[in-house]
Structure 1
C-alpha cells in the first residue's frame, strides 16, 4: 500500500518534495503514516508503561516526552498557541481519516455518532460536568461566538469583561453591542498582582444591577495572570449575573472541575494545552442555562439536538469526524497521567523557568506573577534592554526555542512549557535567553 509520501511524490512529479511538503512526511523523517503495525503497538504500550510507574521523577517525564514525535533539537514552549498531539492521538486521527477516505459512504460513517458520544462522555468526566452540558465545537473562538451571539441582550443591559480577554471574548462583544445597543464595560487589574484579592476587587466595583454577564479568561494569554475563577463566578451569581470563563489557557493544563467552579459557560480548544486534535473544542453550558442561550447554527439534525441539552450548539454541518473521535483518545492520555499531576508538572516547569531567568538575568521584568496561585503555564517576561520580537526570532533560529512575542502593555517573550518538556529543556532555554540577552 502506498504511503502519503509515495502519493505526494507522484502528485508533485517527484520534484523537490522536501521543500514542498511538511517535514514530518519528507524523506528525511518519519511520521505516523509510515508507522508499521508493530510501531503503533509500541506507542500504545508506552502508555501502559507510563501508567505503571510508581515514582514520578525526571525519568518519568523523559518517558512522557517519548509519547510525542517532537524533533530532537526543538525546544517547543508554545502551548498557549498550539501543541503537538501524543502519538496515540496521531494514530487515531490517521487511522480514522484513512478509514473515511477509503469508504466515505454514509453506512461506514454511521459509527462516528457513537464515537462522538464517547468523546462527549469522556470530556464531561474530564471537566467535571454532565454529558448533556458539553458541546464539541471547533475551537474556543467558535465556542465564545456561540455565547456572544446567543444571549438575549439589549439597551439597558451591561456585559463586564476583563481587559485582558482574547479578541473573541472582547472585540466580539463590541461588535454585537453596536448592533443591539447594550453596554460593554472593561475591568483592568493591577500589574503583576500578588493575591486573589488584588484582582477580585476591580470586578466587584464594576458590577451593577444592569450587569447580565461577567466574562473573563481563566488565564491570560498576554500576561500569564490567572484569575480566581470560582470566586469570580460566585461574585457574578451573587449579583444576579451569569459567569463565562474562557478556558483556552486552562483546559488541559489545570485541573478543572466545572461544577465546582460554578460557571455558566466555559470554552476551550483541543489543540492547545489539551494536546488534542485541531478543529475540535469544547463549549460547556450549565444545564440551567441551556434554554437561555440561542444556537448560532441550525441545520440537519436540529430537531433531535434541540431536545438534548448542549448538543444543540454543535449542529455545525460536515465535521472532521476523526478529530471529534480523537478527543476521547486525548482524554485517555490525560487520564493515564492524571489531571492533578499534569497541573503540578506544568506549574513546576513554569516556576523553574521564571526563577531561573530571574536569577541568571538581573533586571528581567515579569508580567507573569511568580506565585503559582496567580499563574498557570504561560510565562511572559523581558530581559533588560531586549527587543521582544528580535529575541524570539533569535531564540528559534539560533537555539531552536519556539515561543512568541507579545506587544502592547505586556511587551515581552512568551514561553509556555508543557509535559513534553523536561527540566533539562528549561535549563537549555534559560541558557539561550541569557546568551542572547547579554
Structure 2
C-alpha cells in the first residue's frame, strides 16, 4: 500500500485524535498543495503521527511496510485520549492487527485498552461432538456449541473485575441451556495476598481431583512456593456422583492447594480439601456414611525437553470404598492458537475409582452409562492442531473399563472431536 493512501486512510480514522489546531503548513517538498492527499498528510505530520525523510520528502509512492504502519498506529495510540469513540474503535482494531510490530516498538496494547475503555470484551466458541460405544438413553452421543463471552474490567491499579457469560446450544435439537454468568469475581491485593472474591473456576494442579466452580473466596500468596487457600460452596450439583436434577443444595468446600517451582522445567504440586453437606441431605452417601469427605493429592509436571513433557498425579479420599485416583501423561509440543501450523499430541493412562474425586477434568472419565459409581481405568490418546489463526482442532479417544467390582464388566470406547474459535 502506498504511503499517501495510508496517510489518507489514517487521517480518516484518527484525524480528530490530535485535533485540528495544528497549522497545516506544507512539511514535504514532494506533496504539493493541490495533491489529493495534501490535507491528510500535512495534518497528520503536524500532529506527529506521520514522518518524512531527512531530505524533506514524504515519498508517498513508496510501498509502506508493516513496521512503518505500526509506527503510525503507535502515534495514534499516544493521542487516543483525544479521540472519539468511533476513532478509538478504529485504533483498537489497528492495534490488534499490528500487535507483534507494536511489541517490537515496546508499545503496550493494554495501554490503549485502559485509555479507550474500562472493559475489554473477548470471546470463544467451542463446537464439540462426543460419542460412546455403549449407548443408553442418558449417555448417548452429543453435538453441542458452547459460547463464552469474557468481560475484563479495570477498577483501579490494584483491583480488577472478570465476568464470563456462557450458553450451550444442543445442535441435536434436544433443548438449550440458558445464558448464565458462570464466572463473576473481583480480584485484588489484600495484606500481601491476591484475593479472588465471587464465583470463579477452581482447577487444582492437573485437574485429577478438582475441576469445578466455587462461590466463595480464594487467597493466593507466595512466589516459588505458591499457595491457594479457598472457602465457599461448589457451584455444581453433579459432584460425588450426584444428579443435577436430584441434588437441591450445594456442598461447602474448604481447601489448600500448593505449587512449588522445583526448577525452570519442573513443578511439584499438592493439596488438601474437604467437602461437607451442612444440611444432612445425604448427598455424600454414595461414598460415605459421614456428612463430609476429605481429599488429598500430590503430583508434578516437567518439561524434560523443549518438545516433550511428563506429568502425573495421585490422590485419595477418605471414602469407605473406591477411594484412589492416579494418572500419568506424556505430551509432545502443543497447539498454540496464535501460531498457525502448531500441533501437539499426548497419551495418558488413568485409574479413577468411583469415590476418589468430586469432579475430575477428564472427559469420558467413567464407564457404563457414565455413572460415577462404576469408576474407570484405561488409556487416552489425543491430537490438536492450529489450521488458521485463533482456531484450534482437537480429537481424542479413550478406552476404559470399570474399576468397581459391582459394576458391569463392559468396556467403553469414548470419542471426542472439537474445534475452538477465539475472537
| TM-based fold match above 0.5 | no
> TM-score, structure 1 length as denominator?
0.20
Per residue, is there more helix in 1 or in 2? 1
> TM-score, structure 2 length as denominator?
0.21
Q: With CA pairs under 8 Å and 6+ residues apart, which has the higher RCO, 1 or 2?
A: 1
Per residue, is there more strand in 1 or in 2? 2
User: Max radius of gyration: which structure?
Assistant: 2
